[in-house]
Amino acid sequence: MAEKEGKEKDREKLQRLLAEIQQLQGQMEAINAQLDLIESSIEELNRVEETLKGVRELKGEEEVLVPVGAQSFVKATIVDTDKVIVGIGAGVAVERTIDEALESIDNRRQELEKARSEAQKRLQKLSQELQEKQREAQQLAEKLGLAQPPQQAQQAPQTAQQRQTGGSSGGS
Amino acid sequence: MAQQQQNVEQQVAQLQQLQQQLSSIVAQKQQLEMQLREIERALEELEEIEEETRIYKTVGGLLIEADKDEVKEELEDRKETLELRVKTLEKQEKRVQEQIESLQKRLQKVLQQQQQQAGGGGGAA
């Protein structure tokens, strides 16, 4: 009797563990998506930085090709090689000197890099937790008779069925 | 008994519908809150800008020069509207949440009764 009750407890624990594992995996997926986003933002900042540094070096007479999408370019000259217009969100943009813009790009990149390393740390922690839970679940599953000597293995599926059909009402 | 079962199924369906409604309200609210934060950040940024700095506003794909005070006013207006909409959504969220809770309670009671009736036959070890 006592052994049976213990088994039931183990089964419940296993079920809880499996739910926790699933939740952890979901969290990790979300963090990974976040990391992708951070990564592409950093890349974009790097690209703009390079462009602005290039523009800063121009005299303003040179012909440049401005991308208008779909690998198409129009010829232009840059009338002001000191200034750049930067969006601040909400459909508003302000004029800045290129030096100012580069500084704020640098700040934003540092913020993003910080966020990236924090997300990576969280991911690592969750992955450790996941491994521990998976190992624990594995052990419990073995203990519950999935890989046990034959006499007990015969009994185990029966208890499993009982729990799924009548078990939830019988428990209370 | 069969009628009771049908009733339960109906309530479960209703519960699912409410939960869907709730998550759509929450999603809408989050989106508006994001817009709100964006506007607040833009306003902060505008505060720090020197007087003679040129300001532009997006019109479709173009940027057109605009007056700083006008832009500020416009942003404040949008902020107010958004705050109002967020508040409305918060009220809705609360109401649906309450509906869900009371429905869950009712369902739990019915299910417990059913289990007790069924448990007399099957659950005894």
Sequential DSSP letters for A33-62: HHHHHHHHHHHHHHHHHHHHHHHHT--S-S
Q: Residue A1: its pLDDT value, please?
A: 55
List the CATH number of the domain containing B49: 1.10.287.370
CATH class of this structure's domain A2-162: mainly alpha
Q: How far is B38 from chain A (nearest CA, A)?
A: 6
Q: Count up the domains in chain B and report the number.
A: 1
Q: How far is B103 from chain A (nearest CA, A)?
A: 21
Per-residue pLDDT of chain A (172 residues; tens, 9 = 90+): 567 788 888 999 999 999 999 999 999 999 999 999 999 999 999 999 999 999 999 998 999 999 999 999 999 999 999 999 999 999 999 999 999 999 999 999 999 999 999 999 999 999 999 999 999 999 999 988 775 433 333 343 443 334 444 333 333 3
Give the integer Cα–Cα distance in Å for A18 and A24.
Answer: 10
Residue B59 sits in which domain range?
2-70+79-122
Report chain B residues whose CB lies below 8 A from the CB of A85: 54, 56, 63
Q: Residue B90: its pLDDT value, please?
A: 98
Query: Pick from B42, B119, B125: which is nearest to A92 by CB?
Result: B42
Residue of B nearest to A171 (CA): B123
CB atoms within 10 A of CB A142: 11
